Structure formats: C-alpha cells, structure tokens
Amino acid sequence: MTQNEMNQKTSGPVKQHMGLRASRMLSNSAIYVLLIAISIIWLIPFVCIVLQSFRVESTWQVGYVIPQQWGLDNYRNLFNTDFPRWYVNTFISALATAVLQTIIVLCMSYTLSRFRFKMRKPLMRFMLILGMFPGMLTMIILYRVLKDLGLTQQNSVPGLILVYVASSGMGYYVSKGFFDTIPKSLDEAARVDGATRFQVLKKIILPLSKPIVIYTILTAFMAPWGDFVFARYIAFGSSAGSNVAVGLYNWLNKDQIAKYYTTFCAGGVMVAIPVTVLFMCLQKYYVEGVTGGAVKG
Amino acid sequence: MKKYSDLEYLKLSKGKKRLYKLQSFFCAIPQKILALFLGLWNIIKGCCLKVRDEALDIYSTFVHGDWKTKVSFLVMGFGCLARGQILRGLLFLLFEVVFIGYMFIAGGYWLSMLPSLGKVGPSEEYNVIFDTYVTTYNDNSFKILLYGVLTIFFIIAFVYTWRLNVKQNKLAEQILSSGKKLRSGKDDLKSLVDDQFHKTLLSLPLIGILVFTVLPIVFMILVAFTNYDGTHDGYYNNLFTWVGLTNFNTMLSWTANTGAGTQSYAATFGEVLSWTLMWAFFATFSNYFLGMFVAMAINKKGIKLKKLWRTILVLTIAIPQFISLLYVSKMFAKNGIINGFLMSMGWIDEALPFWDKASWARITVIIINIWIGIPHLMLIATGILMNIPQDLYESARIDGANAWQQYSKITLPYMLFVTGPYLLTSFTGNMNNFNVIYLLTGGAPTNPAASSAAGTVGYTDLLITWLFKITTGAESQYYLASVVGILVFVVVSLISLVVYNVLPSIKNEEDFQ
C-alpha cells in the first residue's frame, strides 16, 4: 500500500465527518425556518379569530386584523342571543355521548378482541360493508322516526344523543387494536384461577385500559361539538334545539353575516377554549390511540 | 406474458423489473376478477348446501325425536319446559306468543300493504258545520315501508329462534340419553357473565346498530325504488309507491333533462364523481407525503422544542372544524383578510377569486385541507418512524446512501407497508369528507349547466354534499338521494375490493428490497 493510498484512507472519514457536521447545521437551520413558517401559517387563523372577537368598531368583515377599538362587546352580545342555550345543548349531548358511547365502544371492541365465537368474523365483515354506506342517508328516516317520537326541533337533545350513541359500536377499530396488544395469557391465568369472564374484565383488563378509555371518552366528547349534519337535520330550523355548530353556521348566512360576523368569532372562541384545553391536557392519550389505530388498520 | 422465476427476476435490470411488475399487475386483474366471481359462486353454493343440511337435520330431529320434541315443533319451548329447563322454555314460549300476537294485530297488515305501499291517500271533505275543508289522513306509506321491513326482520328472527328451539330439543335428548344433567336456569344466567359473556356484551351495541344503522340503510335502499319525495311524503300530501328502476334510469340517462340545467343527470353525476375521486386522491396523498415530511423534520436529530412544534400543529385537530373551516373560508372571501392583506401590500390590485372560479376553488380547497390533515398524518408518522430500526439507516449511511436514497429505500417502503390499510380508509374517508367541502365552499361555485334534483350543483361538490343538498333542497327528492347513496356505496366498495385483492400481490414483493 503506498503512502498516498494510506493518506486517502485516513483523511477520508475525517473530511466526511467535517462535511457532515456542516451539512447537518445547514439542514437543521433550514428545518427550523420551515417549522417556524409552518407554525405561523397554522396559528394565523386562530390569532385572527381571537383578535376579531375583540373588535368593536364594525361587526362585518374588514381587510385588517388588529382591531382599532378593543372591547368585550361581542362576548356580551352572545348573551343576547340563543348562544347560551346552544352551548348547554351541546354540552349536555357531549357529556352523555362521552359516557354512553364509551361503554358501547368498549363492550364491542373488547368482545371482538377477546372472544372467539362463530359469528365473529362474519360480524366484522358485515360492519365493514355497512360502513361503506354514506351514513348521511340514514338521516332522512331517522329524522322522520324521531319526529314521530317527539324528539326533534326544541327537544332535539335526547334525539341527538340517541343518534350519536346508537351506532357507535361500528367505531370499534381503534380500541380493538388496543385490546389486542394486552397479552391473552393474563386472561388465561385468571381463568385458570377460577375467575369468570366478567371478573377478568373488571379486575384485570379495565385497570390496564386507562389510555384507551380516556381516548374513547375524549373523542366521543369532542365529536358533538363539531357535529353539523345530524344536528342541523334534527334541530330542523328550531333555534332552541340547535347546537353550537348549527347556530354559529347560521350566523354566517348571507343575511346575517353583516351583523353577526364578530359575534361568530367570539362564539367560536368560547367553544374552542374548553375543547382545546381538554384536548391539550389529554393529548398523550389521543396520540397513542391514533398511532395504534393507524398501524393496526 | 413470459413468467420469470425468482432467480431470473433478480437478474433483470431495474427498468425491466418495473415493467415486469407492471405487466404482471395488469395481467393479474382478470384473474382476480374471475376469482372474485368464483368466490361469490362458492358462497352461494355453500348457502344452498347449508339450507339443505338444515332441512335434513330438522326432518331427522322430528322423525327420531320423542313426543316432547314433536310438540316443540308447534309449541316452542315445550320440550325445555317438559325437561325442567323452565327459564329457557318460558323465553321460547313468550317469544312465540309475542310473535303470533304481533302478526295478528299489526304485522299482517303492514306485510299485506307492503306491495302497494298504501291504497288510500289523504282526502279532503267539506264539513258543513264548520264550513271548512277537513282533511282525513288514511294510509301512511312511510310507516308501511318502515314497519313492513321491521316485520320481515321479525319473521327472520322468528325462523331463527324456531330453528334454535329445534336444535335445543335435539341437544337435550342427546345429553339426557348419555346420562348427563341438563343446565338449569341458574346455570344459564351464570353463563351470561362467564362463557356466554360475549352475548351480554354485544347485545346492546348490536341492537343499536340494527335499529339505527341496518334498518335505516335497508329502508333507504328500498326508497331508491319508490317515488318518495317532498310532494309524495306518504301521509300528509300524497302516498308514494314502487316505481321499479325508474330512478336509476333517471340518474344514469344521457338525455338532457328539462329541469334546472341542460346537462343530463349522467353527465352531472360523472362530473361530480370524477371531482370526488380527484379530490380524494389529492387530499389523501398531499396530506400523506407532507405530513410524513413534517414528521421527519420534527423528529430529525438535533431539532429542539419537538413538543412545541407538535402542539402547534395539533391545534387544528383540537379546535372544532366548523369554527376553523368556516373562519378560514371567510378569510379567503373576496372581502376577507387574505385579499385585504395582499391588496394593502400592493401585491394585487383586485381581489383574488378564491371561491368564485372552479379551478381556483378546487385548488384552494385542497390546500386548506392540507392545513387540516397534516397534523393527523404527522402524529401517525411520528409513531411509525420511531419504530424503524435505526441500524438500517446506519448501515445505509456506511454504504454511502444520501438522504434521498435513505428516504426512498427505507423510510417510504416501511411507511407504505405499515400504513397501507390506513391509506385506503383515508381515501374512502376523503371521498365522503362532508365537513371540509360543505363548510368551506358549500359546493360553490355553481355549475350552471348541471342538472340537479333541487337546488344547485357546484364545481366543488362531492357526491356526499350533493346528496345532502338533494335531501335538503326544495323538492326533497329522497329517491334520488338514495340512488346517489347507493352509487357511492358501489364506488367505495369497488375501490376497497380492488385495493384489497390486487394490491397485496405487489405490496409483498416490495417489502424491503
């Protein structure tokens, strides 16, 4: 081996190392610039909506963001409308949905994950096919039926809860994925010791399932806040039976927007704050659920 | 087509490998379709055989059974009662009584009206005493259809229970003749929290699904074959009735209709469908790749404040979509903040037509959807990226692979492999992504030529928003909405079937090369 070749061999990695460092610095700073840009884009709408909710001088859209006159007029204005009623409606249905839907989803997913019975596979396939029908279609008939039961318009909240909860068993995928990861040997050990299936669920599985229970409660609680289609169908023009999404949407109609645009912003902030705070507190569980669910498919 | 063995395949050049894969992909399609039909045929054949076996079994149970069993054929649960299984026997008997009672009181009526969906509509009569016209409501097509379907469900349930009853008898005879004891009612109750626990757990969710999903879907499928709409609501104004395939003919005919637009329904449907597919494609893949990119950027070694970046992005998931999307749609309006900002900076003289031109609106919708969708993908990709064994990258780096090569040879195949099913569900989910389209544009800008059932069809309307507009439109043509719904189902299930059946063959080949 000649001296020259030796040199090349030793200097090669060193040079490369230096190059790597420099290029890493460069690429990292490029990434920082990108991330800052993304963050700004992501935050702009939310900053704007908050700023506009404090604007006093005009209730209509303007071409600038920072209010010339600050004040709480829009928030005060909210209480002169049906907004508190919508808020209560949404809150009640969200709370009830969170409790009932969690029970149903957990029953479903736990059973499909743990038990092996003859109809299991056909049942899952059937629900997969059922899920391919646009759910909106069922609204037409559900509206008529609920109307006959007197659960529409002003009395929409119980009807809405019923609709949210009843079919929620179809959304078992994520939590089934979670239960699949709990080793079956735990169940079997307890069964050998004479525990019934019910005791296994209560004493062994439930204590281990905190993340998925919280995930299910969180998503079930958040969904009614954003539901627009079903709520609008069931409230059917009744302001007292609307939820926040339907009510606020109507403020942006052509004939209302000039008067209510900034009030919409204030209402939006009022809705977004509790939901966002809750989500941020429980973010960890949400991430676990989402990533687990996607990998399992 | 020439088939290569594994060894020959590996010897091929890169381009030829691709070509070969592509060829075999397309050559496999007819085979797959054939296999599908064969599978269907087998299922049908299996069902026929099953029915024959069941019939034979019922027959032999009757012939070989004792008198208790024979009576059970007529009086359900008699065998159980006679053999001391009181609880089971009573339940069987109760079900039979309820069923027969229901059929006599109501079920028979609903069933007999089902073929006509009602004969007498509401009629007006002049009332002399009050000097007004009084309407009497008669048959109710809606209820006839609904309860008719329900009655059919009930009959199926009865047949199933009857069969169960026969089976129970046969089983009980076998157990008794082998000298064992039968299970008592107490044992039955106990087993509901033990080895039959799944039945307890599933009963509530399944009843919910049956009543609030299966029944409505069956009902809506049937509505596609009627003329149920705002002017034929089946009770208050006119009855509705069966019209056969007329609605499908309307939706899929190429002759121009006389209604709102000059275009035929088929042409409008084709346009909306093609935009729906286009939208689903772009929405899914733009989010997928950009989300993966952002996740990689945040996860890169040496990047600080990882949690902060993630939290900022996740805001769009946390805040209800109707707030963020409605607000953003107003931001992009003619007099909105974006145009105001651009004009005040002097970059443009006239407001940009974000929502007023078809192509502008479509592109804007896709871009805003990225804002909504990236965070989800970022979360998913973060989880998956962390699972990729780091030594793969290390050895790639030692071999001199650059960043792009590492990405295209390790990261991307791994991601695609793991998230394959997710991609499919998010594609079909985007096809039915009502919120983003309806809250952002409401389907606008309107397509003046498009014919619609009622209201308007716009250039950004998906099939699902079109469906919604038909049902809420002035004429409420539910039958057309349900035709659209059925077609959505057909498209979604076809795509899912093809992807599930055709894709794995090439996906498996591509695992880590």
Output the average pLDDT for chain A: 83
- Determine the pLDDT at residue B260: 52
- Determine the pLDDT at residue A29: 86
Average pLDDT over residues B187-201: 82
Structure tokens at A226: 């954003």
Instruction: Give the whole-angstrom CA distance, residue A97 versus residue A223.
Output: 9
Residue A154 at interface with chain B, using a CB cutoff of 8 Å: no
Q: Are B413 and B512 in contact (CB under 8 A)?
A: yes
Which residue in B191, B17, B201, B165 sits closest to B83, CA to CA?
B165
User: CA dist B177 to B62, B63, B88, B174, Å?
Assistant: 17, 17, 20, 5
Check whether residue A141 and residue A58 sit in a common domain: no
CATH number reported for the structural domain that contains residue A268 in this entry: 1.10.3720.10
Terminal C-alpha separation, chain A: 57
- Determine the pLDDT at residue A295: 55
pLDDT above 90 for B435: no
* Residue B115: other Cβ atoms inside 10 A: 10
Contact A248 B321 (CB under 8 A): no
pLDDT above 90 for A93: yes
Contact A63 B478 (CB under 8 A): no
Could you state, in order of their start, the residue ranges of all structural domains in chain B? Answer: 6-59, 70-244, 265-509
Angle in degrees, CA B420, B422, B424, rounded to 5? 75
- Determine the pLDDT at residue A5: 45
Output the average pLDDT for chain B: 84
Check whether residue A112 and residue A56 sit in a common domain: no
pLDDT band (50, 70, 90) for residue B29: confident
Average pLDDT over residues B354-363: 87
> Which residue, of A73, A94, A122, is where some domain finishes?
A73
pLDDT above 90 for A98: yes
Check whether residue A183 and residue A244 sit in a common domain: yes
> Which residue, of A22, A49, A73, is where some domain finishes?
A73
- Determine the pLDDT at residue B48: 93
Total number of domains in chain A = 2
- Determine the pLDDT at residue A11: 44
What whole-number percentage of chain B has pLDDT above 90? 19
- Provide the shortest C-alpha distance from residue B375 to chain A (in Å): 10
- Determine the pLDDT at residue B1: 58
A44-74 pLDDT, tens digit per residue, is: 889 988 988 888 877 777 767 788 888 888 8
- Provide the shortest C-alpha distance from residue B8 to chain A (in Å): 34
- Provide the shortest C-alpha distance from residue B208 to chain A (in Å): 4
Which residue in A228, A87, A246, A83 sits closest to A164, CA to CA?
A228
pLDDT band (50, 70, 90) for residue B485: very high
Check whether residue A39 and residue A168 sit in a common domain: no
> Which residue, of A73, A95, A126, is where some domain finishes?
A73
Check whether residue A142 and residue A247 sit in a common domain: yes
Check whether residue A59 and residue A201 sit in a common domain: no
Top-confidence residue, B103 or A291: B103
- Determine the pLDDT at residue A105: 93
- Determine the pLDDT at residue B309: 87
Average pLDDT over residues B167-175: 87
Average pLDDT over residues B397-414: 83
pLDDT above 80 for A10: no
pLDDT band (50, 70, 90) for residue B509: very low
- For the B265-509 domain, the top CATH level (class) is mainly alpha
B257-268 pLDDT, tens digit per residue, is: 555 556 778 888
Contact B318 A39 (CB under 8 A): no
Check whether residue A26 and residue A85 sit in a common domain: no
B347 CB burial (10 A radius; 0-12, 13-18, 19+)? exposed
Which residue in B140, B147, B136 sits closest to B105, CA to CA?
B147
ipTM score:
0.84
Domain limits at A252? 81-296
pLDDT above 50 for A3: no
Give residue B6's identity as a one-letter amino acid code. D
Count CB pairs under 8 A between chains A and B. Answer: 246
Q: Are B430 and B462 in contact (CB under 8 A)?
A: no
Structure tokens at B56: 């034979």
Check whether residue A137 and residue A34 sit in a common domain: no
Contact B294 A38 (CB under 8 A): yes
Contact A62 B482 (CB under 8 A): no
Instruction: Give the whole-angstrom CA distance, residue A184 versus residue A175.
Output: 16
Check whether residue A46 and residue A193 sit in a common domain: no
- Determine the pLDDT at residue A294: 56
Check whether residue A210 and residue A228 sit in a common domain: yes
Check whether residue A118 and residue A262 sit in a common domain: yes
The secondary structure element, H or E, covering residue B135 is strand B132-136
